[in-house]
Chain A
């Protein structure tokens, strides 16, 4: 029984990070109709930014959160402004391919800069945890979850309250009408893509506290971001949060599966991807707009 509670807690803790990973991806997808395959690479850059700041200047990962955000925001903004706005109206596949190429580019630059060795960020509080009944909770992961909640909350407020946030939502609803009412779509696109990258950077920083770092680490998070978006529905902050938590919990339980059919031993930890993706397929088919999704596309 205590295992069940532990799995649930682990799932929630992991889900918080996934929510932040998916948030930026979801905004870019929902608002610009672009699947950003470089999102995972941006997450990786955020993680390595934190790593570099921590090892070179002893900057605490939580302090480097805003730094990751700003650096990645600027990168994303410039990529959209200078390059991707040229193909903004191209068919789906064009932007897909572009971001794939971009991802290869970024990952391989990272391989040259940081090499293919696995790295980690080990802070003073890295190993510390506390127990609640039978359930163990690592402090770092709890802080991470709180930071994730704070970030998603801030994003939601900003989108609803700020002028830019409103312009972004207007653009996502009706680009033509937004343009007519004076919204500069190229600028909004650049801000949204920057925001997506910035949030990926923040997610990378949070990830660096609990996972080991490698230039190709982004791929796994990219796929998870997909699943979370599909679970939660596109372009909404609440969707990303709920999708992230649901996915985190499903994954935590799925990895505990362990049984044998005939001579074939099946273990959930080995089939992590497959189980998650089968869940994804089922959700896609039953509720193509996601658990939280609106009826319209």
Chain B
């Protein structure tokens, strides 16, 4: 089977250029002075940051995590705790979230990253659910009723937008430079064949933990900005199934293990989800489910992969048939 449109370790360079251009355009969103539009795009940026986080461990390193929402939630609660102590600096929120998430990733990573395949996925899902459950039972963190956060006044509403834009940009550029560095090659080598990677001198456990920690820092930063922007956090919002699964679906749709993929996926899916919610109040999740089913069947390798496709419809049909039983 030929791999078409390989495009190097960062994925198709054309796709990356387009994505960078789109990011610059997104800086203009607050100029609309429309709170709704701004929130929609801020959510897109938030999902993008989380998708980049997932892409690093799931896409590049090949360890499919179902627990990255734990980092998002932890990040949000870092902001919540800081806010309760009178801190309102967004940089402080993000910094604390990154430290906490990295430490958490290292501690949990040692046992969990020894597991492979489905077992790793389930264990990480367990981690996420357990963290949510524990926070919901901790009175200091407001338990299941959550924490209210002081929101900036109307005039400064866009601050959150720009902060989220920075987090998303940081995640994207971070991914780009990591992928091209020695680190990126260690991740991909582990994904392709962990034993062969070890023979080449790669200490797999160390690099898996690094990948997971950076992944967690990206998701945690998104959570740290989400909390004050939303003005309120509780376990069900911050550990939502959506926040866990959307970034994964987005990365796959866009193209996992590429730099452009997570952003393209977030833009399309978060956008589509928003539109579906507007027009089909009741059935939007149904359409969302149908969409995932179709994407998986028709684009098993993601959209970025289409950029490198040569041979038109016939090549595409072939690509769909590759995985047939």
Contacts and interface: CB of A to CB of B under 8 A. Distances in A.
Do A and B touch directly, given a CB cutoff of 8 Å in the complex? Answer: yes
A109 interface: yes
B139 to A, nearest CB: 6
A29 B117 CA distance: 12
B199 interface: no
A90 B292 CA distance: 15
Contacts, number: 148
A236 interface: no
A276 B202 CA distance: 35
A81 B320 CA distance: 16
Max count, chain A CB within 10 A of own CB: residue among B283, B288, B293, B324? B293
A75 interface: no
Contacts of B249: 97, 100
Interface string A238-273: 000000000000000000000000011111001111
Interface residues of B, number: 50
Max count, chain B CB within 10 A of own CB: residue among A29, A85, A107, A273? A273
Contact of B123 (A106, A109, A186, A280): A280
Nearest to B59: A93
B297 A86 contact: yes
A104 to B, nearest CB: 3
A97 B295 CA distance: 10
Interface in A91-113: 92-94, 96-98, 100-109, 111-112
Contacts of B129: 223, 273-274, 277
A271 B137 contact: yes
A105 B136 contact: no
A interface majority secondary structure = helix
A97 B250 CA distance: 11
Interface stretch (A7-15, A159-167, A281-289): A281-289
B45 interface: no
A35 B121 contact: yes
Contact of B122 (A33, A270, A284): A284
B293 A89 contact: no
B285 A108 contact: yes
Contacts of B137: 266-267, 270-271, 274
Contact of A281 (B117, B126, B289): B126
Interface of A: 29, 33, 35, 83, 85-90, 92-94, 96-98, 100-109, 111-112, 185-186, 189, 219, 223, 226, 230, 263-267, 270-274, 277-278, 280-281, 284-285, 288
5 contacts: A83-B293, A90-B300, A94-B300, A101-B292, A189-B325
Interface of B: 58, 64, 111-112, 114-115, 117-119, 121-123, 125-127, 129-130, 133-134, 136-140, 241, 245, 248-249, 252, 256, 282-283, 285-286, 288-293, 295-297, 300, 320-325
